[in-house]
Structure 1
Amino acid sequence: MPDDAGLQALREAARFSPDNLPLRRHLAAQLLAQGYLAEAEAEYRAALLLAPKDPDISAGLAEAFVRQSAFGAALSALEPFLAAPGYPPRMGVIAARALLGEGDGTGAAYRYRDAVSRDPSLADPDLAARLAPPPPPAQPPAPGQPDHAQPYGHGRPYGQPYQPYAPPQPVHAPPGVDQSTAEVERPPVTFADVAGMEAVKESLRVKLLLPVQQPELFAAYGKRSGGGVLLYGPPGAGKTHLARAAAGELGASFVNVGLADILDMYVGSSERNLRATFEMARRNRPCVLFFDEVDALAARRSDMRQAHTRQLVNQFLAELDGVDEHANEGVLVLAATNAPWYIDVAFRRPGRFDQLVFVPPPDTAARAAILRILCRDKPLAEMDFDAVARVTEQFVGADLKGVVDRAVEAKLHQSISAGRPLPMSTPDLLAAAQTVRPTSVREWLATARNYVLHANESGAWDELMPWIKGGKW
């Protein structure tokens, strides 16, 4: 908290007049000038709420980010202005410092020299000394020689200015036909194959399935089929299995989108792959489009270091919105993540992943039901699945599958010796359970507790509160 009397007076005035934009701007600038960086950032953010497109406020916020070494956040704040010609030169100098902090010396040099050429008063000898030397002047091609693009990875012709946000390593892919590598399937499982999770299944029925199954009823209220649901919870709790079962329950196509289906080394190709995947789902509607580990595709843009990765998030948001209100009708978008707090907040806007559904670890009854499903195609003696469920506290579905697999392996060795299949019994499962430890719940709970108790100003994680404070874990 700043202890300067003048700053305290400004803060008090801003508290009594929160909508006074000049006062907010002046207070933020004074805080920045005196090195109170976190407070300056907060004031600049408050000022941006009053004037979202003000370049001076955005530049001040970016400078606060740079001085706190949050270089990706600074570039994200500046990017909308830097993309337009004639941006304020001060922004170019701030962008140069941010790019240099991210290791892009060539891009930083371009931004700095462009800014100083338009406003020499912004010259910074210390910054200039740290920048890469200017590129050699372009030589025109000899007669009869083709005009090759250079340098590698940027695709800029001779004499054209350097494009700063294209990182040196990627290469732009040539234009081609957009085609998704994800495959369309028809899952054989339904909600009957998902043990427990009744509240989760009911949420999916109301949000995703019933609008397709009873379109007339929902149309009476102006509701169409389609939409998005974000499933989150500890690893191994059955989020992917639940998504497949939702498609099977509906009798719809199912597209399981992996990272390899989207991410590509060529700049622009990842966005094309994402667009092609959505187009494939629209051609096969009704369709459940499932993105596992979605935090890798929808991470917070302020945390990203390169502009082309932020463009992938922008493309994802645009596809969720669709080109018109009917574009995604009949396309049910499900996504799963173990780390929902790392996903860009724009994805939680209504019309996108506006419903977050917590997939909890199974309780005792659900664990017993999971064990019954896992063992139903195996030779069994009389089984007490409830007894096994009671000794597998904090086990998720993946852990329980590991218990059954170990019991089967042990029983196979006995069957080989006996020369015939021996039925599996309750002691076999209990013995296997003693050799398996829960893999994920405790670690995930420790992380979730930090967000629920200390970073839940928006109330996004209220659903976890009973599990954190109510003793369910």
Structure 2
Amino acid sequence: MGNDAAIEAIRRAVAAVPSDGALRLHLAQLLTDAGRGSEAVVELGVLLAAEPDHPGARELMLAALTPPAATPETTVAPAPREPGPDAPAPETHSTSKGFDWHAAESQLGDIAAPMFVTSGEDQEQPGTEPVEAFETQRPTIKLSDVGGMEQVKERLDAAFLAPMRNPELRRLYGKNLRGGLLLYGPPGCGKTFLAKALAGELGAAFISAGLSEILDMWIGSSERNVHELFVQARQAAPCVLFLDEIDALGQKRTQTRNSSMRSVVNQLLTELDGIGADNEGVYVLAATNQPWDIDPAMRRPGRLDRTILVLPPDAAAREAIFRSNLAQRPVEGVDLRRLAAGSDGLSGADITYVCELATERAMMEGVRSGNVRMIGMADLQHALTQVRPSTSGWMDTARTVVQYGEDDGTFAELKAFLKKSKHW
């Protein structure tokens, strides 16, 4: 009875301080000595779950699982009998010391809970369809909504629109509906808008993916994301697949020290080739501000073999961008032609920022005076003096590349533009 009282006292102490491993080990020892091995095993299981390498816990677990040895006074060994034809085979689980490992394992199966479980919320429910990893859009804008850029539109028409609209000529000339095109140029000049306009012109689906949607910290996940992206595009065909920041996804493997990034480039090349699948009806457009950093294999025939230089908007395009940004704002007396002439060198994003600054100036003057007024030319011209072309840095880098880099003819169009501009 006294031993039971001591056990209960130690059990209450363990309940008060459950993290005390030494106290729980002492309780398990008392339970084992009292012949209450199953209770000792429970306590030791809790202790080993928290401290797998706790000294003495494993040895005591073995002792707690070992059934008490029968004494000569209480146990009489039966006389040996000859085994009959239907007698069961002798047990082979016991060791030379008499410990029954099979019995021990069966006991542990009842008292040891699994270490890791999966909640019902995370389990896939039957009948549910997988969610698409990338958003599929249906753009309504057309190339007619893109101001200026006539040369770019002609290139897009020859590469995609004409073969799509003339199936008989396509079959006559053996022109398939697969292809890849690289849009490059300074940032903020409408490469993404062009890709959406092309999808709207084709009546095709539009899927856009960039670095953040594809790269993953786990080994192999980035390559799987690339594969799933192309699988989704093939299922949605006809589809314009837009790869943004292709210089980051398809960077030169000779300059990549990270083996996982080289694997991503290899997977991207495999998908562009359509190995194991058909890319018919998948129009791959890629955009970059750094075309000289792309792996040369990306531009081989059948991949992104055609390139289009997207330059800062010309006068007609700048006028259209001003018109679009000011269409829903309270303006009066605005001369779009003068604004276009005074914004040479600005990108589309720069012009949008000019309109934002002009709006803020008019609004804040209205707040201070208490009289709401319209946005006028003075506001827009003042904003133009505050904005510097964001394309200047890119032009300087491009000039260095075409002057001193390896010239394989890829940037001939860019070189011709720079020679005619003030950036040469």
Tell me the amino acid that sits aligned with residue 300 of structure 1. K
After the TM superposition, which residues 46-445 of structure 1 pair with which residues of structure 2 at under 5 Å, given as runs?
A: 181-323=133-275, 327-416=278-367, 422-439=373-390, 441-445=391-395
Q: Hey, what's the Cα distance between the residues in 2 that align with 1:179 and 1:262?
A: 16
> Offset of 1:178 from its aligned partner?
9.3
- Runs (5+) with no aligned partner, structure 1: 1-142, 145-176
Q: Identity rate of aligned residues, in percent? A: 45
Q: Deviations over 1:330-384 (max 9, x none)?
A: 1111110000000000011111101010000122332122211221222221321
Q: Deviations over 1:202-255 (max 9, x none)?
A: 111211222222223212111111211100001111111111111112221111
> Matched residues in 2 for 1:339 and 1:364: separation?
25
Q: Is the 8 A contact 1:298 1:313 kept in 2?
A: yes
**Structure 2 vs 1, CA of residues 458 and 178 (structure 1 numbering), >3 Å: closer, same or farther?**
farther
Residues in 2 aligned to 1:422 and 1:253: alpha-carbon distance in whole angstroms: 43
Query: How far apart are the structure 2 equivalents of 1:351 and 1:180?
Result: 27
- Specify which of 401, 405, 410 is matched with residue 451 of structure 1: 401
Query: Structure 1: how far apart are the matches of 2:417 and 2:273?
Result: 33
What is the letter of the counterpart of residue 200 of structure 2?
A: G
Question: Conserved in 1, the CA contact under 8 Å of 2:146 and 2:317?
Answer: no
Inter-partner Cα distance in structure 2 for 1:192 and 1:379: 25
Greater RCO (Cα-Cα under 8 Å, separation 6 or more)? 2
* Partner Cα separation in structure 2 for residue 419 and residue 288 of structure 1: 50
Look up the equivalent residue of 1:350 and give its one-letter code. P
The Cα offsets for residues 259-318 of structure 1, whole Å up to 9 and x where unpaired, read as 222111111111111000101011111111101111111001111113222111111011
SS of 2:207's equivalent in the other structure is strand
User: 1:287 & 1:352 partners in 2: Cα distance?
Assistant: 16
Query: TM-score w.r.t. structure 2 length?
Result: 0.66
Q: How many residues end up aligned between the 2 structures?
A: 297
CA distance in 2, matches of 1:240, 1:217: 29
Q: Which runs of 5 or more residues in structure 2 are unaligned? A: 1-100, 103-128
Aligned twin of 2:413 = 463
C-alpha distance in 2 between matches for 1:449 and 1:305: 27
Conservation of the 8 A alpha-carbon contact between 1:178 and 1:276? no
Contact 2:312 2:345 in 1 (8 A): yes
* In 2, Cα distance between equivalents of 1:180 and 1:323: 22
- Equivalents in 1 of 2:190, 2:370: separation in Å? 36
Q: Matched residue of 2:173: which SS?
A: coil
How many Å separate the matches in 2 of 1:261 and 1:218? Answer: 35
Cα distance, 1:190 vs. partner? 1.6
> 1:205, 1:461 → 2: CA distance?
21
SS in 2 for 1:220: helix
SS at match of 2:386: coil
Q: 1:185 to 1:333 in 2, by over 3 A?
A: same
Aligned to 1:117: none
Q: Distance in 1 between matches of 2:341 and 2:289?
A: 25
Rounded to whole Å, the distance in 2 between the matches of 1:305 and 1:452 is 26
Structure whose CA Rg is larger: 2
- How far residue 418 of structure 1 moved from its aligned partner, in angstroms, is 7.1
Give the CA deviation at 1:417: 6.0
Aligned to 1:174: none
Q: Which residue type is aligned with residue 364 of structure 2?
A: H
- Alignment match, 2:7: none
Amino acid at match of 2:291: P
SS in 1 for 2:311: coil
Give the secondary-structure state (helix, strand or coil) at the position aligned to 2:325: helix
Contact residue 180 and residue 277 of structure 1 kept, 8 A? no
Aligned partners of 1:371, 1:455: CA distance in 2, in Å?
Answer: 37
> C-alpha root-mean-square deviation of aligned residues, in Å?
2.2
